[in-house]
Amino acid sequence: MSRTARLLDLLQLLRNRSIPVSGTDLAAELGISIRTLYRDIATLQAQGADVVGEPGLGYVLRPGFTLPPLMFSADEIEAIVLGSRWVAAKADDARLSQSAQQALSKITAVLPAALRDRVEATNLLVARGVTAPSSVDASQIRLAIRNETKLLITYRGPDGSQTQRTIWPFLIGFFDEARVVAAWCEMRQDVRHFRIDRITALSPRAERYPQRRAVMLKQWRARNNVAPPS
């Protein structure tokens, strides 16, 4: 392995951890000596990576430092292409679909020619399929989740009856047959799952809901035995 490749692998290991990791563990994962690791850490710091720590205490990469897209591997490029194409084809959210296409275009624009050709020639395609159309702007739900604000929705139940509810949305699930928002429902005083295609109207509220989104998501995962994404 070249030193450049090793430095990039070290950065990736640090990016994958949110708490300090010991130099011994990093050296073992990279298959290098602890002295070599210390030199590599010093090199990264000299080149602008905000690596915090010292021998004996562990190291952590502060948020904000990103790897340049041209350093993606072929497999990583194919994963990005497939994911972006899936969102563009199946998100049922015009703004999110457009953003996926724009993100892929930005990444492609800065790739070396060989990797750019791989993006254009990849044989990983996503069939559009058929999902139930929604009558509301799903980007408003995503914005409410991002800002931790309430939504007033009109919801059509399976029997056709409609109710108005104030909800605290914290998660959108994308399934082949439907898009579902998980939220605390003030009317039911419990977490409920609402199919977005059954929301016939929604009105954003400026009022923030009283519980943090991250806390609600953690409780929902525990309650439904859903592991966090790796």
- The yes-or-no verdict on residue 97 having pLDDT over 70 is yes
Q: What is the pLDDT of residue 14?
A: 87
Q: What is the pLDDT of residue 129?
A: 59
Compute φ and ψ for 188, nearest 5 degrees: -90, -10
CATH tag, 138-224: 2.30.30.100
Q: What residues have CB less than 8 Å from 53, skipping those under 6 apart?
A: 20, 41, 59, 60
Among 62, 38, 67, 66, residue whose Cα is nearest residue 50: 62
Per-domain boundaries in the chain = 3-61, 69-121, 138-224
Q: Using an 8 Å Cβ cutoff, are 200 and 155 in contact?
A: yes
Dump pLDDT digits (tens) for 192-207.
999 999 999 999 999 9
Q: What residues have CB less than 8 Å from 81, skipping those under 6 apart?
A: 104, 119, 122, 124
Dump pLDDT digits (tens) for 7-58.
888 888 888 777 889 999 999 999 999 999 999 999 888 877 888 886 677 8
pTM passes above 0.85: no
Task: Reply yes or no on domain 3-61 having CATH 1.10.10.10.
Answer: yes
Strands 179-185 and 51-54 turn out to be unpaired
Q: What is the pLDDT of residue 176?
A: 75
Among the ranges given (38-47, 77-86, 137-146, 188-197), the one the predictor scored with the smallest mean pLDDT: 77-86
